[in-house]
Amino acid sequence: MQDLRIVLLGTSSGTPTRTRNVSSLAMILDGRVLLFDCGEGTQHQLLRAPVRTGAIEAIFVSHLHGDHVYGLPGLLATLSMNGRTRPLDLVGPESLRAYVETTLATSFHHPSFEIRITTPPYRGHGFTVTAAPLEHSVECLGYCVIEDDRPGHFDVARARALGIPPGPLYGELARAGDPRVCGPPRRGRRIAFVTDTRPCASAVALAHEADALIHESTYGEELRTEAAERFHSTAREAARVASDARVQRLILTHFSARYGDVAPLVEEAREVFPNTIAADDLLEVHVAAR
């Protein structure tokens, strides 16, 4: 896998605002697309983003609150109208099956493709998606996309010393990670998506040493009591999770609609975890290989 990108499609919590849609995120892996949550309006965001809707391989749902799933039935209908025939995997809590099957039945929609509804983990081509339970008011899952380990760097000088002639064989040995001419395997990239939740040990474990953690930041510290009551996190709490998990960078998302300017939330988080940015709708983040 070469290209790994994150595209934030919706970064508002609960309701959309003039500048933020509700929750959704796309991850692009060498052209294949994984979608995480699908709030209302996600289809419009996909039209605005550098994301091919037809390339969606699987959709992962964190939980069944409306701002995370109300866009799913419409997206499934559009995929049918666009003539999709290959299967689509929907991954999420056990309750996802009842939601999807009931919605399709009561709206008289008969998809043109097979919908496979499963619980995590999920195995894709060159990656695995794991999950962990979070602490929210309903059953909720956090996800981590884990790229397979990559072969070690190819040592041309060593290959020549062994008498291996230059040419296609070099590529074959490099792809195979032949220990005679390759260094130790390189750890695959890891991207964690954690929303909605109180800060918790399972989130820290899920995001352990991730290259990027996308974590909900619904409130600032001035509303930490409300955050606890509603099973959400403040920006500072998200930063503590990032610090405890020893991630490379933190991307804050899922902001309450009351925050027209989220710069104060970023400042709060950076006091704990300096390498923090705020997500904006349609923000694109490239994740380089280690």
Q: Catalogue the active-site residues.
A: 67
* Distance, CA of 125 to CA of 128 (rounded, Å): 8
HSE, side-chain direction, 13 A CA sphere, residue 81? 7
Q: Strand 4-10 and strand 284-286: pairing?
A: antiparallel
* Distance, CA of 226 to CA of 214 (rounded, Å): 21
Residues 23 and 67 sit within 8 Å (Cβ to Cβ):
yes
Q: Where are the alpha helices (DSSP H) in the chain?
A: 42-48, 66-69, 72-81, 95-106, 156-161, 168-176, 201-206, 224-229, 235-245, 263-270
Q: Is 178 left (phi over 0), alpha (psi -120 to 50) or beta?
A: beta
